[in-house]
Structure formats: structure tokens, C-alpha cells
Amino acid sequence: MTGGFSALGSAAPSVIILLAIVTLLLLAAIVVHRSIRQSPAARHAVMLITLVTIGFCPMMVVVARLAWVKAQVRLPKSNAFDYSAAFFNSAEQVGSSTHFPFAGVLLGLWAGGSLAGLMRLILGLRAMRLMRQSAKPPAPESMAQLRNRLTTALGSNLPEILVSEQVGVPVALGCLQLIVLLPTCFLERFNDFQLFQMLVHECAHALRRDTLAGFYQRLLASVLWFHPLIYIANRFLDRAREEVCDNYVLQFVPSREYSRTLLLVAQSLSPLPNQWFAPTVIRSAYQLENRVAGLLNPRRSIMTRLTSKKMAVIAAGFIGSALVLSCLSATLGPALAPSAAAQAQDQTAEPSSSKDKESSGENKRVREINFDGINSISSTEVLDRLKKEKVPLSLESEYDPTTTKKVEVLLKRLETEHGHRSATVHTKVRDIPPGAVGITFVVSEGPKVNGQ
């Protein structure tokens, strides 16, 4: 059990960096969201693009790390992955420590909480499917005129409108096959003009595929269940989404009339289950108060979509920021993993051996490996010979002058085998603070001699 947690804890440095990037993106999005007061469409775009960018952050971090490792080992392209594997395995030294694997336990708790959140999301999907199966179409004569008005307002591509006794408020359901559910009692409780306002709002959700965005939000919250900012971001996005769909209604109905309709709906409000991600005209009375205040604001922008140029600027800002942070993390990650490994080794090593290492300066880590002047030997052949003779040189390995001498001898032998008998090899070592070195093997091949 402890060994498994230790192995899991080896991923802790990368996870810490990833969470730091996610936190910075969320903080930036929240600040920008709060600064945009009059445009619900702009607030919605900021939060949605940020959450989508966060979903791609793990891939960005991995790609940036691999690119960084390739840049450190200046061999031909085919060699880079052997060294990158050595880099990613360097953190495994932490797992070999005899100390309690706190990082592994925390990551295990994270995984357990994510699994519980996913199960909750699946139950929500099942409940929504059962709700959909229980729905039935309304009487044609009661919806014919209303549907014609909706077609005129929103176009002919309207979702199917059904009624159900199991919902207490109008709601849009489905990620692929979209429907709008009306409580059965609403057909008698509200007039056609009020029903038109509710259905414009819910059909707007369906046409915008907001249920799919809601599903993604809840999926992200299941994975980042411990992160408070993800709940704030989801709440802001939910609110902005409702305000955008309110804007669809405001294009046909005065704001005061629509506010009265919302207040009437609120009087018969039945709360939805927490695991639902279906957008609805009203989810809580607290949100209603803020929405009505926004509806009556004369400076409110009733745009339903941003222009392509504005969307591109927002996307470029947040995606570009994520790429820059991922590239910066590629240089910080190696500093975290080796330091953790070094601490584990220092705690478990014999005092005498630690003193010897400190006195000889051999406790530094290899941060760069370069080969200059090699022209006649293929990169694959160099790597194969290093592996065959078990020369312990890789990125983030401990610097040992004896190992560099072994590599010099090996390179001379390879040059001799390829006809460069007078080849010389010397090593240049430069310090890379803190606690690391860069090694360059400089090869002068000399003339090639044919024959024995």
C-alpha cells in the first residue's frame, strides 16, 4: 500500500505546477469577469474560454516539458525521448523513500473525490434521462399559436417542447437531442404571452447547446472538487449564461414585463437536484434578485453573441497565457522534482556518505548534456552504447566526474571504430545555479584513416 502511494507521489511536482497554472487562470478570469459590468455576453465568453483552456492545460504542460527536455539534450531528434524518459523518472527517487508518502496519499484522496464526483454526475444524467422518458407532448391546440411565435422569433430549428408533471420550472434538457420541458400546470397557470417569454429563454439555452457546456462544467468540478475557485467560476458562468438567454427575451419583451413574469415563476419554484446541470429559467430566489436588478438596468447590453474578433482576442489572451505558463513550468518542474528527490536521499543516506558528497561537490544535478563535434557517429549508436555499458548519465542524474570520464573513453572508442583514430574528447562543465551543472563533450574527430 505504501509503495503504491509512493509511486503515485512521484507525480506531485507536475501536479503542483498544473494546479498553479489553473489557479492563475481562474484568478485572472474572475478579475476580468468582475470588471465587465454591462455585457453578459462578454462575461460568458471570458468564463467559458477560461474553463475550456483549463481542460487543455495538462496536455500543454506535458508538451512543454517534452519540448524543454529535447532542447537540453542537443543530439538529433531520435535521442530526445530516451533522455526525457530519464527526466520524468527522476522523481521516482522520492517514492523509494522510507518516509510516509504524504504526496501519494493526497493524490489518492484527490482521485477518490474525483471518482465520487463522477458517480454523482452519472446519477444526475440518469435522473434527467428518466425525466425525459416521463415527458409527453402537449395538446396541439394549446401550443400551435405559441410555436408559430417562437418560430418567428428564433427560427425554424426549435427544440421539441414537452410537458411533465415531474418538473416544477421550465428547463432545457439533453446534450445531443435537445428538448424543453414545461411543468404541466404552467399551461393553465400562465397566459400565452408569459409562456412565450419562458420558452424563448429555454429555447435559447437549447439552441446555444448550453446543456453541453453545463455538463463540461460539472465534469471539471468533479476533477477539481477541492479547488474553491472552480466553484466560483462555475457560478459566474451559470449566471452569465442565464443573463445572455434573458437578452434573447429582451429583444421581444420589455424588461419590466419580463421581470414580472420571472417573479410569478419564482412563486411556484421547485428546486432542482444539485447534481443537475440543465439550464433553467430560475434556479434560486437569490439569483432572481440579481437578475431582475440587471434586467432593469438601463445601461445593460442586450447582445446575445460577441463578434468573432472579440472572441478571438479573449481566446488568444487566455490560451496564450496558458501556453506561456506551461513553458515557464517546463523550467520549474525539474527544479521541484530533483530537490524533492535530494531531500529524500539526504534523510535516508548515511551521515558519512552525505559528508563525503558535500566535500567532493558531487551532489549537483546534471541539467544539460551537449555533444559537440560528433559527425560520423549516429545518435542511436551513441545511446545504444551508453545503455549497453550502463553508463549512468542522464538529465537530472547526480553529477559524477568519474561518469564523465567513462563517457569520454566510450566516445573515443566509438570514433576509433569509425576510423578516427586520432580523435580527442574533453569535457566542459559549467555551473547552473542552484545546485546543477551543464556538461558538454567536445569531440575533435581528426582525419579518417581507412583500413587496419
Low-confidence ranges of the chain (pLDDT < 50): 75-98, 274-275, 336-361, 452
pLDDT given at position 73: 54
Q: pLDDT, tens digit, for every residue of 306-339?
A: 999 999 999 999 999 999 998 888 776 555 444 4
The region that residue 230 occupies, defined by phi over 0 for left and psi between -120 and 50 for alpha, beta otherwise, is alpha
Specify the DSSP class assigned to residue 205.
H
Grid coordinates representing 64 are 512543454
Model-level pTM greater than 0.75? no
Grid coordinates representing 188 are 393553465
Per-domain residue ranges for the chain?
A: 2-100+311-348, 117-306, 364-444
CA angle at 32 for the pair 28 and 34, rounded to the nearest 5°: 120
Instruction: Confirm if 94 and 11 have CB atoms less than 8 A apart.
Output: no
Q: pLDDT, tens digit, for every residue of 398-426?
A: 888 888 888 888 888 888 888 888 888 88
pLDDT given at position 100: 61
Q: Is 364-444 in CATH node 3.10.20.310?
A: yes
Q: Is 284 exposed, middle or buried (0-12, 13-18, 19+ CB in 10 A)?
A: exposed
Grid coordinates representing 216 are 463540461
Instruction: Confirm if 113 and 225 have CB atoms less than 8 A apart.
Output: yes
Q: pLDDT, tens digit, for every residue of 283-314?
A: 555 567 778 888 888 889 899 999 999 999 99
pLDDT given at position 275: 46
